[in-house]
């Protein structure tokens, strides 16, 4: 059964969503992220994708107090990303209760450091963040597209010990227009051993059902929940 992972994005300690990573297209959904996290936990969800958008802009962890509050006040398994650029950032994230962290741009721009994290903490605690545009890796808040092809990029890090990848098609993120099924099917065929977490574009329960049919292991859902396109009680049929 596909794993359902709700997302909370943080700016100024508030729960927000962006459209295609554009900070100028910010919408605040709740000023109390703990309240949102508790809502997810009460619905039976077990994992949370928590993104520090302030940290992503500042290139260092910012919203660690919110992380600590959520991990201390709920039983959610939290994977945390955004602005993790140093050993100290990782130390703070784990000390604040994150069970896993996600590295995206750092895996492109400083692979030696990212690999050292995998070696130190283990591949089960370090998630590879792979943001893509036309199947090429994008970094820097999705402004810069690289020449790195998604399949080889993930394969190379699997050799270093990575077991999970969050793959976000930036053309879909926040658009509520469906997911990149063809991309995910290709990834499942080419790299079947990776735990693939689809992200971006989920607009309805049928989108999740299609991903499940394609044997995608997990999906991150954000805006569809906040915009009431998907009700939390509709997700229970996917719970293991």
Please list the active-site residues. 9, 131
Task: Concatenate the DSSP letters of all residues of 98-119 into one string.
Answer: -SEEEESHHHHH-HHHHHHHHH
Helix (H) or strand (E) holding 27: strand 22-30
Residue 132, token pair as written in the block:
């893509």
The answer to whether the CB of 51 falls within 8 A of the CB of 81 is yes
**Of residues 2, 66, 81, the one with CA closest to residue 36:** 66
Task: Concatenate the DSSP letters of all residues of 181-206 into one string.
Answer: HHHHHHHHHH-TTSEEEEES---SHH
Collapsing DSSP states into helix, strand and coil, what is residue 185? helix
The answer to whether the CB of 39 falls within 8 A of the CB of 29 is no
Packing angle of the helix pair 181-190, 150-158 (nearest 10 deg)? 40
């Amino acid at each position: 059964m596909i794993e359902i992972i709700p997302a909370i994005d943080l700016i100024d300690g508030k729960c927000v969503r962006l459209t295609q990573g554009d900070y100028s297209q910010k919408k605040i959904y709740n000023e109390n992220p703990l309240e949102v996290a508790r809502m997810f936990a009460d619905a039976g969800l077990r994992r949370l994708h928590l993104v520090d958008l302030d940290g992503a802009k500042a290139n260092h962890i910012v919203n660690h107090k919110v992380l600590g509050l959520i991990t201390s006040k709920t039983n959610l398994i939290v994977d945390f990303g955004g602005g993790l650029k140093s050993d100290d950032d990782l130390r703070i994230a784990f000390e604040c209760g994150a069970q896993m962290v996600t590295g995206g741009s750092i895996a492109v721009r400083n692979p030696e450091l990212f690999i050292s994290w995998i070696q130190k903490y283990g591949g089960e605690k370090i998630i590879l963040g792979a943001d893509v545009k036309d199947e090429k890796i994008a970094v820097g808040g999705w402004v810069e597209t690289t020449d790195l092809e998604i399949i080889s990029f993930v394969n190379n890090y699997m050799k270093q010990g990575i077991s999970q990848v969050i793959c976000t098609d930036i053309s879909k993120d926040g658009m509520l227009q469906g997911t990149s099924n063809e991309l995910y099917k290709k990834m499942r065929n080419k790299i079947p051993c990776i735990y693939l977490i689809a992200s971006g574009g989920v607009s309805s329960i049928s989108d999740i059902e299609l991903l499940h049919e394609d044997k995608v292991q997990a999906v991150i859902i954000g805006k569809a929940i906040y915009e009431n396109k998907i009700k939390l009680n509709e997700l229970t049929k996917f719970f293991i």
